[in-house]
Amino acid sequence: MIEKTIGRMPAPGEAVTSGTGRKNSAGTYIVRKAVKYIQENYRNRLTLAVVAEQLFVSQWHLSKLINRYTGNSFSELLNQVRIEEARKLLKDPKRRVGDIAVEVGFSDSAHFCHVFKRQIGISAGEYRNRVMKGLIDEESEEV
């Protein structure tokens, strides 16, 4: 899922034309660094401010770049990474959904369940059931 989002972005060093017509390889570099940081730290309490500080850019600038190059807000991008990891963890039937929610960085399992259903289209429990029955190929995005 996140690979598709990143896949739409130009390769590192490849200049792209922004809406203003100016080339902006620096923007893609910053977004790729932000995504990498999110992927490495999604379990922690992450905010736009934290990631922007790590990349030495303003929150406003990072927010605009993420939206421009991924089509998602910072929180949508963060949730994509977290839900992607949750999908992997849900393959283990011994793990509780609430524990998985906390492990992937959600402080509230109800919020996790809401985000999971909004992104995937079914509840986390139903997703697990379908994976266990072989009705979902956990490598694909299809539900």
Residue 17, SS3 per DSSP: strand
SS3 content of the chain, % helix, strand, coil (to 5): 60, 0, 40
Task: Please tell me the distance from the alpha carbon of residue 131 to that of residue 123, in angstroms, as a whole number.
Answer: 12
Residue carrying the six token digits 């910053």? 30
The reported pTM is 0.81
CATH of domain 82-132: 1.10.10.60
pLDDT digits (tens, 9 = 90+) for 2-44: 665 555 554 444 444 445 544 568 999 999 999 999 999 999 9
User: Is the model's pLDDT at 55 over the cut of 80?
Assistant: yes
* Residue boundaries of the structural domains of the chain: 2-76, 82-132
Q: Do domains 2-76 and 82-132 have the same CATH topology?
A: yes
Residue from 103, 95, 77 nearest 5 by CA: 77
What class is the 2-76 domain?
A: mainly alpha
